[in-house]
Amino acid sequence: MKDKLLALRDEALSRLGDSDLEVWRIEYLGKKGELATVLRGMATLSAEERPVVGQYANEVRAVLEEAFAARKAELESHQAALREKTETIDVTLPGRTPFLGAEHPLRKVIRRIEDIFIGLGFTVEDGPEVELDRYNFEALNLPKDHPARDMQDTFYLTEEILLRTHTSPVQARTLERRCPETPIRIVVPGRVYRRDDDDATHSHAFMQIEALVVDHGIRMSDLKGILLQFARDLFGADQEIRLRPSFFPFTEPSAEMDIRCIYCHGDGCSTCKHTGWIEILGCGMVHPHVLEAGGYDTSSLTGFAIGMGVERIAMLSYQVEDIRQFYLNDVRLLEQFATLTR
Amino acid sequence: MKITWNWLSQYVDLQGLTPQQVAEDLTNAGIPVESLAPVAAGVENVVVGHVKSAEQHPNADRLRVCTVAVGAAEDLTIVCGAANVAAGQRVPVALVGARLPQGPIGKSTLRGVASEGMICSASELGLDVRLLPKDQTTGIFVLPADAPVGESIVEYLELSDMVMELELTPNRSDCLSLRGVAYEVAALYGREVSIKAPELRTPPQDKLPLTVEVATDRCMAYSAQVVSGLSLRPSPLWMQMRLLAVGVRPINNIVDITNYVMFEWGQPLHAFDYNAIAGGHIIVRDAQRDEALVTLDGQTRALEPAMTVIADPEKALGLAGVMGGESSEVTANTRAVVIESALFDPLQTRRTGKRLQLRSEAGTRFEKGIDPAVTLPALARAVELLCEYGGGAIASGPRLAGAALADANTGHDAVRQVAVRAARATAVLGFTVDAGQILSVCERLQFAAREENGTVLVDVPSRRPDIRIEEDLIEEIARLIGYDHIPATMIVGSLTAGGLSNEQQLTRMATDHLIALGMQQVVTYSFVSPTVAERMRLQPDDELSRMIPLLHPLSEERSVLRTMMLPSLLEVAEYNVNRRQLDLRLFEIGTVYLSESLPLQKQPTERRVIAGLLIGQVQAPSPHGESRSVDFFDVKGMVESLLKRIGVDAAAQYTRSRAPFLHGGQSADISAAGSQVGLIGKLHQEACADFGMELTDAFYFELSVEALLPLIRERLHVVELPRFPGTLRDLALVVNRALPVSELLTAVRSVAGPLLDDVRVFDVYTGEHVGIEEKSVALRLSFRSRERTLTDEDLQQPMAAVLDALTIAYGASLRA
């Protein structure tokens, strides 16, 4: 019996390599297979022999099952290898890249600036582009016949209706609407118009973004603090700013803000005209006439305003040389912004 | 405004300062110095020479051999090719080894004669020849006969003097004069200003009588005086050089003196030929209707009553503050002039200048306002210079008229008192300012001031008209203490929540979604050509044809406000297609401007529109098989996903559009919750062709932000997942080919009962297996109950109801 089992084991193992695996399994391990047949003969054995042979038979079964599993794995792995071989592709071929959309650089800059001010507690306000003379000029301390509101520089639609020349009328509208509410903290992006012939640095339509704060106890030093924060958020944590006196009809005192040249870091280059500084924006303490026009009490309230040209910041940030590029919308340029992370 | 360092040093002590430092400090004080450069750079070893003789060159017709004394022991032999060289002249001589802007000068031999240097022309010295008279720029630069032989030309012509160009803000018109800049520099460094006004002098008796009369309120002050015995000649070279340096063309001694005094005092002056003034009587009056004047430039100007003229009893002599007249122009025969120093209404001057398109240094100063305190000193200064450099003598007493001179006659500057509180300055600036500091700033500015209980009362002189209120003085304080003194602090006050409005949130979300779908955002101008109405095939009475015109457009191409986004996007597409960019997926969230009627009565409605234009392939070219062209359903899918993304809850309806710029068979109006929110479609072939895309299929969509906003759902929670499986039933129906599938879907939804969860179209077939007028539509209905698993019996009734309804309403039959 034992010899029979041994012979059966050896035969089965020797045939495993060249048999169909399932046929082999049925033949040797199946319910009606060779091993089962041998085991069925155990009934004829004596009570002493039976456990010994039984254990032996189990060992043979274990060996065969193990051999079967190993062979099965071997064949499967071989088949997988064959399939992979036929399925092999050139992984260096380009992928099916979806078109990469991109935000327009001017919108990108506006969003960044909006987000900086939102983080500082400002709400974003809009206003009409087609404005009334009253809001664009008069309420902003630019009375009729002020040289700065020249017919030459403004697109008029009628005598009283014009295309706003700056985003500041939204200041006037907000003050008028919210008076006497405080604090006012708004940021206003938008398109503005000047009667300029288009060239590398001028456009008859361009974007501005401005901020306005009105509250009790607002100081020019607060303006400087916000500007420093803003400049560092926008141009890097090590940015420095410089304020220089300037003039705007709707602020007093007024200032221009320069940042350290972002190209030469202050060493002097052609962009900063070798001064180490680049002019970025205008700002100042809200002129009392503007607060008064909005109905606010100038003896107890002060405020500051900041205004900047979006194109200028975009030109500096992305090294675009000609403002008209932003409005030509050459997709070869615009597509590059899909890969610019800021 | 340009000034020179040497010129400025005449009026303010500049000891120990450098032009570079002053330029930087002026910039930091709000007077930006745009440029700083020497009058002429790169000239060395050039001296004044005396041409002792100029002989014909033995071997060349056009050359002269000159013997030139240069203050050295030996005279030099110099070969010169200029036609105007002559014995006796003083000339600039570049010695051997000299440097000129174009390069160094060496010893050379010209046609066999050795030349020991070069006689220079004005341009060779680096001077701006555009401003010099022609006789000074053709050939060599002939110097005055008293030029000291041997002196360095750089010294003699002050070529190393530094020219500063100031970029003045509109409020600082006081710095349109050397006097104003001198006060500013004096304030920066606490220096003294030394500008003395000569006294007006009256001769014992008038040789040439003059009377003046002001007959308009647009002239606030008029002063004039006669100077006779003049001889017209070039002004002294130093004066010419200074005018040249600041960009003014030297002409003759009389004109140059008026310009020189204008730069010095900021007061424009005019010189009339005395003999041209009938009766020696000057009247300042409004121009008459139909009056004409030939101005100095030879043009005949039609005058209007809104203009102010200087006239005699017979005729207009000149336009006040704008330009003189030809008839009273100073000429070579002029022996006596009337010098005018006056104050004209800035607005009148500006309007007249603009009307006649005449801009001048004088006009600019009148427009910005002139210090009334300088009217008389400037007149006296001009008269003084005319006597000194024009050989003239005073021939009449000064004649004064006008309201402003009444004050001036008292001998006091008109002043304005402005108070500034130290506490207010501190509160506004954010650093402590005390009354002592304010007084010190006022002293530097040379403003009289005194303190009363922390308030400083300041007498602001008329030279600073920009200072009117307390804040103006606070700026002066900050400016002179230095803006860099302002600390950086954070706002103290209640916290506020920043954020976007609903509309801004929506446009940001839409932007992000479209970009994620591969769309490229563009930004286009709002001005378009009025021809776009026709190019978009709009009827004249279409509301979209009512484009608001600009009163003064820059060009016809950009002369009206757009009423639709499509032409703007087409313009971008055309630009890119012309550059062989053929796969375009453009979008813009832009503004259109709609008016109720024209001409405009009130502000138009501004609508924000999300608009997209797609042409070309759906995918970038790749080696992995064929791509295909964008079609209607690509774009519709994009719109559907966008509506979902921004949270539009209501189902959108697509109904055939009548928009004239869209393809009649492939376009739809989009509406939701009963109102139109946009449209979508293939562009009409003519609209495409008009933008240079004859053979291109272009697809367009637009959605009104205003219409979408009320449709955005407020809900911010999810729907619970079903616990029981759903059951699907497919229906293949044969219907009329023209039947919109959306009607089938609507009908299914209305009759299928509460168990219907969803219904979709999964196939549409036309072809040989159905009739020619028919199509087969395959629908997949999904049923689901929240309480239990559905059985076949549950679905029998709803399916039968659907089939009945579709058969009755649309003649639908089950496909065999």
Residue B478 CA to residue B481 CA, distance in Å, equals 5
Taking CA atoms, B15 is separated from B2, B18, B38, B189, in Å, by 21, 8, 19, 11
- Give the CATH number of domain B44-156; options: 2.60.40.1840, 2.40.50.140, 2.40.10.10, 3.40.50.300: 2.40.50.140
Distance from CA of B294 to the nearest CA of A (A): 26
Q: Concatenated DSSP letters for A88-145?
A: ---TTSPP-PPP--B--HHHHHHHHHHHHHHHTTPEE----SEEEHHHHTGGGT--TT
How far from chain centre, in Å, is Cα B761?
Answer: 58
pLDDT band at B776 (very low <50, low <70, confident <90, very high): very high
Contact A183 B496 (CB under 8 A): yes
Of A99, A128, A145, the CB nearest to B347: A145
The residue type found at A252 is E
Residue A299 CA to residue A79 CA, distance in Å, equals 89
* pLDDT per residue as tens digits for the range B602-642: 999 999 999 999 999 998 888 887 789 999 999 999 999 99
Contact A98 B619 (CB under 8 A): yes
Of A104, A215, A287, the CB nearest to B493: A215
B179 CB-contact burial (10 Å; exposed 0-12 / middle 13-18 / buried 19+)? buried
> Which chain A residues are closer than 8 Å to B583 by Cβ?
99
Of B170, B517, B600, the CB nearest to A148: B170
CA-based nearest residue to A305, from A169, A149, A181: A169
CATH 3.40.50.720 fits B415-480, yes or no: no
pLDDT for A59: 87
Taking CA atoms, A96 is separated from A87, A236, B540, B627, B719, in Å, by 19, 36, 47, 11, 35
Residues forming a β-bridge with B68? B51, B76
Distance from CA of A114 to the nearest CA of B (A): 9
B635 CB-contact burial (10 Å; exposed 0-12 / middle 13-18 / buried 19+)? buried
pLDDT for B410: 47
The pair phi, psi for residue A46, each rounded to 5°, is -75, 165
Task: Please indicate whether residue A128 or residue B350 has the higher confidence score (pLDDT).
Answer: A128
DSSP letter for B395, please: -
Q: Is B430 left (phi over 0), alpha (psi -120 to 50) or beta?
A: left
pLDDT for A150: 64
| Residue A137 near residue A166, CB atoms below 8 Å | no
CA-based nearest residue to B84, from B141, B143, B46, B146: B141
Distance from CA of B636 to the nearest CA of A (A): 18
Distance from CA of B446 to the nearest CA of A (A): 20
Taking CA atoms, B605 is separated from A60, B562, B675, in Å, by 93, 12, 18
State the maximum Cα–Cα separation within chain A, in Å, rounded to a whole number.
Answer: 129
Q: Which CATH architecture has domain B211-408?
A: 3-Layer(bba) Sandwich (3.50)
Residue B621 CA to residue B628 CA, distance in Å, equals 10
pLDDT for A36: 82
Distance from CA of B560 to the nearest CA of A (A): 10
DSSP 3-state assignment of B357?
Answer: coil
Computed on alpha carbons and rounded to an integer, the radius of gyration of chain A in Å comes to: 41
Q: A130 is written with which tokens? A: 């087609």
pLDDT band at A189 (very low <50, low <70, confident <90, very high): very high
CATH 3.30.930.10 fits B502-711, yes or no: yes
> Which chain B residues are closer than 8 Å to A99 by Cβ?
518-519, 583, 585, 619-620
Average pLDDT over residues B234-250: 92
Task: Please indicate whether residue A162 or residue A11 has the higher confidence score (pLDDT).
Answer: A162
CATH (residue range B727-814): 3.30.70.380
CA-based nearest residue to A189, from A246, A123, A250, A252: A123
pLDDT for A147: 66
Residue B438 CA to residue B432 CA, distance in Å, equals 11
Q: What share of chain A is helix, strand, coil (3-state, %, to 5)?
A: 45, 20, 35
Average pLDDT over residues B202-219: 92
* pLDDT per residue as tens digits for the range A319-340: 999 999 999 999 999 999 999 8
Residue A202 CA to residue A221 CA, distance in Å, equals 32
Of B354, B552, B579, the CB nearest to A330: B579
Residue A24 CA to residue A10 CA, distance in Å, equals 13
Taking CA atoms, B418 is separated from B44, B48, B408, B456, in Å, by 53, 55, 21, 8
Contact A93 B623 (CB under 8 A): yes
User: A161: nearest CA in chain B?
Assistant: B603
pLDDT for B198: 87
Contact A217 B493 (CB under 8 A): yes
* pLDDT per residue as tens digits for the range A110-154: 999 999 999 999 999 999 999 999 999 999 998 887 766 665 689
> Which chain B residues are closer than 8 Å to A119 by Cβ?
498
The pair phi, psi for residue B214, each rounded to 5°, is -105, 115
Distance from CA of B640 to the nearest CA of A (A): 18
Residue B580 CA to residue B615 CA, distance in Å, equals 12
Q: B760 is written with which tokens? A: 């979709």
Residue B700 CA to residue B666 CA, distance in Å, equals 11
Contact A191 B526 (CB under 8 A): yes
Domain boundaries, chain B: 2-39+162-189, 44-156, 211-408, 415-480, 502-711, 727-814
DSSP 3-state assignment of A83?
Answer: helix
* Residue written as token pair 């078109």: A99
Average pLDDT over residues B367-388: 92
User: A272: nearest CA in chain B?
Assistant: B34
Q: B796 is written with which tokens? A: 């029998």
Nearest 5°: the CA angle B288, B291, B292 is 145
pLDDT of B172 over the 80 cut: yes
Residue A139 CA to residue B23 CA, distance in Å, equals 36
Q: B323 is written with which tokens? A: 């330009």
Average pLDDT over residues B458-486: 95
The residue type found at B417 is Q
Calculated CA dihedral for residues B349, B355, B359, B365, nearest 10 degrees: 20
Contact A331 B520 (CB under 8 A): yes
pLDDT for A342: 79
**pLDDT > 70 fraction of chain A, expressed in percent and rounded:** 98
pLDDT for A250: 94
State the maximum Cα–Cα separation within chain B, in Å, rounded to a whole number.
Answer: 132
Residue B540 CA to residue B706 CA, distance in Å, equals 26
pLDDT for A204: 95
> Which chain B residues are closer than 8 Å to A120 by Cβ?
498
CA-based nearest residue to B456, from B444, B465, B464, B447: B447
Q: Which CATH architecture has domain B2-39+162-189?
A: 2-Layer Sandwich (3.30)
Best B476, B486, B576, B617 member to test A by mutation, with max A CBs in 10 Å, is B486
Contact B522 A95 (CB under 8 A): no
Average pLDDT over residues B108-133: 86
DSSP letter for B120, please: P
Distance from CA of A197 to the nearest CA of B (A): 7
pLDDT for A257: 96
Within A178-300, strands assigned E span 184-193, 205-216, 241-248, 251-260, 277-286
Average pLDDT taken over every residue of chain B: 92
CA-based nearest residue to B586, from A254, A10, A144, A103: A103
Of B170, B469, B471, the CB nearest to A147: B170
Q: Concatenated DSSP letters for B153-197?
A: HHHHTTTTPEEEEE---TT-GGGSSHHHHHHHHHHHHTPPB---P
User: A132: nearest CA in chain B?
Assistant: B603
Q: B545 is written with which tokens? A: 């044809």
Residue B352 CA to residue B363 CA, distance in Å, equals 10
How far from chain centre, in Å, is Cα B312?
Answer: 41
User: B471: nearest CA in chain A?
Assistant: A252
> Which chain B residues are closer than 8 Å to A218 by Cβ?
491, 493
pLDDT for B411: 46
Average pLDDT taken over every residue of chain A: 91
Residue B593 CA to residue B580 CA, distance in Å, equals 32
Contact B500 A114 (CB under 8 A): yes
> Which chain B residues are closer than 8 Å to A224 by Cβ?
430, 486-489
The pair phi, psi for residue B528, each rounded to 5°, is -130, 175
Contact B526 A119 (CB under 8 A): no
User: B28: nearest CA in chain A?
Assistant: A244
User: A99: nearest CA in chain B?
Assistant: B518
Cis peptide leading into residue B372 (ω within 30°): no
For chain A, helix (H) and strand (E) counts, in that order, are: 12, 9
Contact A327 B496 (CB under 8 A): no
CA-based nearest residue to B382, from B253, B533, B513, B564: B253
Cis peptide leading into residue A105 (ω within 30°): no
First to last CA, chain B: 92
Residue B166 CA to residue A190 CA, distance in Å, equals 32
Average pLDDT over residues A242-251: 95
Do B727-814 and B211-408 fall under one CATH topology? no
| Segment holding B639, helix H or strand E | helix B632-645
| Residue B587 near residue B522, CB atoms below 8 Å | yes
